[in-house]
Amino acid sequence: MVLSPRMPDLASLETLQAVVATGSLNAAATRLGVTQQAVSARIRAMETQLGVALLTRTPRGSVPTQSGRLVAEWADRLLTLAGEFDAGLAALRLERRDQLRLAASLTVAEHLLPRWLVSFAAQHDPAPKVSFTATNSDHVYDLVRAGDVELGFVEGSRVPTGLRSRTVARDELVLVVPPGHPWTRLRRPVTAADLARTSLVTREEGSGTREFLERALTRALGPGRESAPPVLELSTTASVRAAVIAGAGPAVLSDLSVADDLGHRLTHLAIADLDLARPLRAVWLSGPQPGAGAARDFLAHIARS
């Protein structure tokens, strides 16, 4: 529905309503907190816009014409709805301050997000109510695009069209094997070709960690590279780590997720020809930053941390 150009603005309708209620331009000006000249100018402009006379000026004040009384009645209903609309928007803004809905890939959810949330809550009283979903990067993108969360966190540089992003941290993927694995006896670093032809323990498709490794291997070896199927596909980083410790096979995981196991349950092996450093990014719907509210405040807090 396209409104007519003769549709008055709400401020003009509020002015007419005040004049009809008080009986004079001066009293209406006092009620609205403006000058009498401003009230008079608004009424004249609205009469010109509508093409009808709204008030009759008399020595004792301003009296609405029949048309003016009718417009004032309509304005009363419209302004009531506008007030409800304004109150609803205010509640929505308050909700955005009171609630923080997040989604994060497992690397961020398990190793960074808890620390960020604790320090954020310590600086905000009252702290917003936080809910977050730990999932893979593809699902994070879906939740952000659908508006189910205000802010998502993913691994890697790829960000789908329609989303904005900012790097908030960095990590590096590392090759890990259990102590005693044959690769620990190699007299050379493991190569990209070694990884490509070896069945690894991996995350499921849609995982940012898995996708980042596959892209790195393709850059190093070319699109026609050899690709062994995974020995296991698991849905969490913890289960991948446990499978490697149990001897299922090698894995490439975030250094954040294996730091506590290196040196005893897991062994870190160098990879000769792969750069596996990567950004960890916040993502949100279009705009240079998330909409005003807890999400924007939280992102700013992370940037300062």
pLDDT in tens, 69-86: 998 889 888 888 877 777
Tell me the pTM: 0.67
Assign domain 10-96 to its CATH architecture.
Orthogonal Bundle (1.10)
Amino acid 265: pLDDT = 94
- Helix and strand numbers (H, E) in the chain are 12, 11
What is the amino acid identity at position 68? G
256 sits in which H/E element = helix 255-258
How far apart are the C-alpha atoms of 89 and 95, rounded to whole Å? Answer: 10
Selected from 3.40.190.290, 3.50.50.100, 3.40.50.720, 1.10.760.10, the CATH number assigned to the domain covering 170-278 reads 3.40.190.290
Q: Where in the chain are the domains?
A: 10-96, 99-168+282-304, 170-278
pLDDT score at 131? 92
**pLDDT, mean of residues 29-38:** 90
The string of DSSP codes covering 130-163 is EEEEEE-HHHHHHHHHTTS-SEEEEESS---TTE
Domains 99-168+282-304 and 170-278 share a fold: yes
Residue 96 has pLDDT above 80, yes or no: no
Does the structural domain 99-168+282-304 have CATH classification 3.10.310.10? no
3 state SS of 56: strand
R_g over Cα of the chain? 31
**pLDDT on residue 159:** 86
